[in-house]
Amino acid sequence: MADVSLTIIGLRRVGVSVGLALKRYLESPRATHRFVITGSDREQDAGKEAEKIGAIDRYVRNLGDAVAGADIVFIDATLTDLRAYLQAIGPLLKAGCVVLEAAPLKQPPIEWAARYLPESAYLVGLAPVINPDLLYTVAADEPGAASAELFDNGNLYIAPAPSCPSEAVQLASDWVQLLGLEPHYLEPAEHDGFVAAVELLPMALGLTQFNVVTSAPSWADLRRLTNPPFALSTVSVLQNPADLADLVEMNRENLLHYVDQAVEQLAALRATLSRDDTTALKAALGEASSRYVQWLSQRETGDWQDRARVETPTLRSSFLQGLFGNLFTRGKKDED
């Protein structure tokens, strides 16, 4: 069984879950590679907790020591932190190292990788879509919320730069399948547009709802009646304001498009309410309910028969077989 050196930077929910999922894989009969996992995080408590629950083999706070000799580096971080991490580790990566990042946007990291990573190292953007059983679970972004089952029956979108070597993309595809995820492919710009719709728009609407309700003169009484519908629809305001502002700023045009669509929908709803048109309201609610049930069923089963077909690479290779040799060779040639 060949050893693979993996470093996880950012011991948050996703990063620690990656470690736990790989440890579970190592215990299965199908395991053909042994992952030696180093974890790194600014917060020593997070590192010690990840080490305690068995997600990593060792915690190393110093980034240089953490990535030394790593074959794969997985980064779970905010956009701001990701940029700092890439800048810090770029000169320290060995030739052929593949850096996998799970930041919320994919276009900015490509620009940073071109600036900070050597030509002998390769960045591949990943976007995990988690286990449907956890769809209505709101968990803190910390090691204690991690689980080996986080990725079970989920999907993962790979959004590489056009210049990314096919070998690195294939490694990412093979690697994520070990986590229990099915790989799909997206253009980075397409991914960021989708994120504006399914993550940033809910945030914007939740922020609006929270401000409307909490600024009402009756908020002192309203707050006593708050239940899951209010908590779940406004939970996005708990995110770090600086990180959220960076995310919005880097994806502003896409978010503006969907905010405009939301304004149109609210205007249509307002018109229906002002007319006291119960028939139209019931029709709108019925149609939305039907589409929601269809989406939820598809999300839970993974059966997306009505979706557009996604082009996937035709590469065929076993996981890591010969890949690092190709990347090492490429890196050494670049260095020469």
Pairwise pLDDT comparison (294 vs 33), residue with the higher score: 294
Which stretch of 10-24, 202-216, 303-317 has the lowest confidence by average pLDDT? 303-317
Contact between residue 175 and residue 128 where contact means Cβ atoms under 8 Å apart: no
Which range (26-35, 131-140, 148-157, 170-179) has the least confidence?
Answer: 131-140
Using a pLDDT cut of 90, give the percent of the chain over it: 73
Tokens of 229: 């519908």
CA 288 to CA 62: how far, in whole Å?
51
Which one has a higher pLDDT value, 237 or 5? Answer: 5
pLDDT digits (tens, 9 = 90+) for 189-209: 999 999 999 999 999 999 999
Q: Which of 171, 177, 173 is nearest to 154 (CA)?
A: 177
Length of the chain: 336
Sheet holding 72-75, edge to edge: 58-59, 33-40, 2-9, 72-75, 98-101, 122-129, 154-160, 181-185
Look at residue 318 in the predicted model and tell me its pLDDT: 43
Is the pLDDT confidence value at 90 over 90?
A: yes
Report the run of H or E that residue 210 belongs to, with start and end: helix 201-214
Is 327 a residue whose pLDDT tops 70?
Answer: no
Is 80 exceeded by the pLDDT of residue 273? yes
Is residue 139 pLDDT above 80, yes or no?
A: no
Q: What is the mean pLDDT of the chain?
A: 89
Distance CA(165)–CA(201), nearest Å, equals: 33
Instruction: Find, among 164, 55, 154, the residue nearest to 113 by Cα.
Output: 164
Q: What is the pLDDT of residues 42-77, one digit of tens each?
A: 999 999 999 999 999 999 999 999 999 999 999 999
**320 pLDDT above the threshold of 80:** no
pLDDT beyond 90 at 246: yes
Contact 142, 46 (CB under 8 A): yes
d(CA 217, CA 213): 9
If you write DSSP's letter for every residue of 17-50 in order, what string do you get?
HHHHHHHHHHTSTT--EEEEEEEE-S-HHHHHHH
CA distance 106 to 123: 10
pLDDT at position 29: 86
- Reported as a single tens digit per residue, the pLDDT across 104-128 is 999 999 999 999 999 999 999 999 9
Got the DSSP string for 95-151? TT-EEEE--S-SHHHHHHHHHHS-TTSEEEEEEEE--GGGTT----SSGGG--TTTT
pLDDT tens-digit series, residues 146-192: 899 998 888 899 999 988 999 999 999 998 888 878 889 999 999 99
Superfamily of domain covering 2-186+311-330: NAD(P)-binding Rossmann-like Domain (3.40.50.720)
* Separation between Cα atoms, residue 314 and residue 60, nearest integer Å: 38
Residue 154: CB atoms within 10 Å: 20
pTM of the model: 0.87
Please say whether the structural domain 191-276 has been given the CATH code 3.40.50.300.
Answer: no
Asked whether 98 and 326 are in contact (CB, 8 A), the reply is no
Listed by start position, the domains of the chain span 2-186+311-330, 191-276
Contacts of residue 213, defined as CB under 8 A and 6 or more positions apart, other chains included, come to: 219, 222, 230
pLDDT for the residue 6: 97
pLDDT at 262 over 60: yes
Q: Which has the higher per-residue pLDDT, 224 or 333?
A: 224
